[in-house]
Amino acid sequence: MKKKWEYYEQDKELVEKISTKYNISELLAKILINRNIIEDKQIEIFLNPTRNDFYDPFLMNDMHKAVNRIIKAIKNKEKTIIYGDYDVDGITSITVLKKFLNERGLEVDYYIPNRLEEGYGLNCKAIEEIAKNEYKLMITVDCGISGIEEIKIANNYGIETIVTDHHEQLEELPNAYAIINPKRRDNTYPFRGLAGVGVVFKLIQALSIKLELDEKEYLKFLDIVCIGTISDIVPLIDENRVISKLGLKLVKVTKNIGLKELIKETGYKNIDSSMVSFGIAPRINACGRMGEQEEALRLFLTNSKEEANEITKRLNTYNIQRQEKEKIIFDQAIKELEKENLDKLNSIVLSGENWHHGVIGIVASKITEKFFKPTILIGIENDEGKGSGRSIPGFDLHEALVESSDYLKKYGGHEMAVGLSLDKDKIQEFKKHFEKIVEAKDVKQLQPVINIETDITKRDLNKEIIEQIKLLEPFGEKNKQPIVAYKNLKITSIRALSDGKHLKLMLKDGNNTINAIGFNLGELTNEYLIGDKIDIAGTLELNIFNGQESIQINLKDIMKSI
């Protein structure tokens, strides 16, 4: 599908002012302005955050209450359990809180629900098991804000609950002892975008202040906090920027044996946000997706290099299994789509027997990206279907499920991603109803958009520019790797790589040669010829091959020059 290129507006005077004042390139100044980072303090913190840039944790609702209750548990050696989640955010949250409390002399246990059998969040059966084991205090991490019924049951058993979470609250809050969540509707904290592990970090920061500990007692966990933050696709701005930027420095010298072994296993040479997002996160998430959620936690908690090495190998195996299941489902879904008149459809709803519901969300993402249509995949087991959906910008998927609730047993999520369950015999009716909703929203008028920072010329292709762009790391949500446009280039070589999957170009601007690579753009080799003049959009990167460095453009789109 043809992509729309959208440029940011440029204020030339402001660009020149920031470029001169901070001794940075005009390109970097433009990128900062595009991210609305224009005040002196904003620029300083964004480019060079320090430990002094964290907000006061006691600005968060219920923080004093939670801290006092946990200190009481430490003093009385109360039986305490952490209830977490099976994804990277949840696993890192449990790791940080458990290690911190253990070091304070409180041995705490943990509970992680099985994704395939229990699903996300608190559940009544788990609370009853926790009660049987006579726990007095339960601390939730990365979950709990919607556990109204479950916390009511915990209260009836005499268990006091401290909720730490970062998800949106429902109409009412659960009746917990304390609720620490920057997304509470009565929130008083300056930044709402923390990951679950970020909220846990604020809790241990507050505990450290109250217990008059050295700040290193909480700062030393920033390597693990950074991993959870980057992996959870929260906005990497404001306090998340401080967490991730400082945290990546600690990741490079991490003392966590499990993390160190996992980094080796990924094979990544550079320790950056890409390594976390594409190397570490999939391996940890694969544990939860395959129903082996405790393996990842044991990796972060172990003090044995041998055990860490063994667990890392198993994580790799789970990830390979996840990839295999994902490929099988993707291939089956594409075959099903071939039976449909895709051009006439506004949405994609597909179902299959025994599609693994731990991985269908990833497949739904890939199909959404490939066809740019709201997509829901449903795995059928016995007489029930469990589904995951992904949307496109401009279409509210959760709202569409609200309008389809008569066909569903259960659903949840947000504008861009949802989960749902329904009876098998309702799938076709739901599919027709959902298609009507999407058609009424006129999604065919929506186009994938590429946000272009600015046009560049050959003078911008130098190593110094690449090094300055690295100052914007870590990249992620709300701080994407900058995409630039380079126009009126002549194709001197064009070929497909990896059996037609990828695109390799050599381009000329006068006497200058530009190398470009387009991952998953191999099909474009049929649309362009040597000698064609084209405009390209992509990211700038340093390519090292056989010890030689060269600047390469990682293509996101190309079009013929006007």
Q: Three-class SS of residue 470?
A: helix
Nearest to 560 by CA among 539, 531, 522, 538: 531
Check pLDDT > 80 for residue 544. Answer: no
pTM for the full model? 0.90
Q: How confident is residue 231, by pLDDT bands cut at 50, 70 and 90? A: very high
> 447-494 pLDDT, tens per residue?
899 999 999 999 888 888 889 999 999 999 889 999 999 999 999 999
Chain position carrying tokens 């994407």: 480
Give helix 305-338 / helix 257-266 axis angle, nearest 10°: 50
> 334-356 pLDDT, tens per residue?
999 999 888 899 999 999 998 98
Check pLDDT > 90 for residue 497. Answer: yes
Q: How confident is residue 216, by pLDDT bands cut at 50, 70 and 90? A: very high
- The torsion defined by the Cα of 181, 187, 191 and 193, in degrees rounded to 10, comes to 40
If you classify domain 340-445 with CATH, what class do you get?
alpha beta
Question: CB count, 10 Å around CB of 158?
Answer: 10
Q: How confident is residue 289, by pLDDT bands cut at 50, 70 and 90? A: confident
CATH for 4-48+450-560?
A: 2.40.50.460
Residues contacting residue 460 through CB under 8 Å, at least 6 positions apart: 25, 27, 484, 540
What integer best gives the mean pLDDT of the chain? Answer: 93
> 67-86 pLDDT, tens per residue?
999 999 999 999 999 999 98
User: Is the distance from CB of 247 to CB of 239 less than 8 angstroms?
Assistant: no
The pLDDT value recorded for residue 445 is 85
Check pLDDT > 80 for residue 545. Answer: no
The pLDDT value recorded for residue 188 is 92
User: Is the distance from CB of 124 to CB of 153 less than 8 angstroms?
Assistant: yes
Tokens for 45, please give them.
Answer: 């913190």
> 115-166 pLDDT, tens per residue?
778 777 889 999 999 999 999 999 999 999 989 999 999 999 999 999 999 9
- pLDDT, greater one: 10 or 131: 131
> 241-284 pLDDT, tens per residue?
999 999 999 999 999 999 999 999 999 988 999 999 999 999 99
Burial status of residue 442 (CB atoms within 10 A of its CB: 0-12, 13-18, 19 or more): exposed
Instruction: Give the mean model confidence (pLDDT) for residues 163-180.
Output: 92
The pLDDT value recorded for residue 151 is 96
Hey, what CATH topology would domain 53-253 get?
inorganic pyrophosphatase (n-terminal core) (3.90.1640)
> 291-320 pLDDT, tens per residue?
888 999 999 999 999 999 999 999 999 999
Sign of the Cα pseudo-torsion (466, 471, 474, 479, in order): negative
The pLDDT value recorded for residue 436 is 95
The pLDDT value recorded for residue 58 is 98
Tell me the residue type at 516: A
- Domain 4-48+450-560 identical in fold to domain 53-253: no
Query: What residue spans define the domains of the chain?
Result: 4-48+450-560, 53-253, 340-445
Check pLDDT > 90 for residue 290. Answer: no
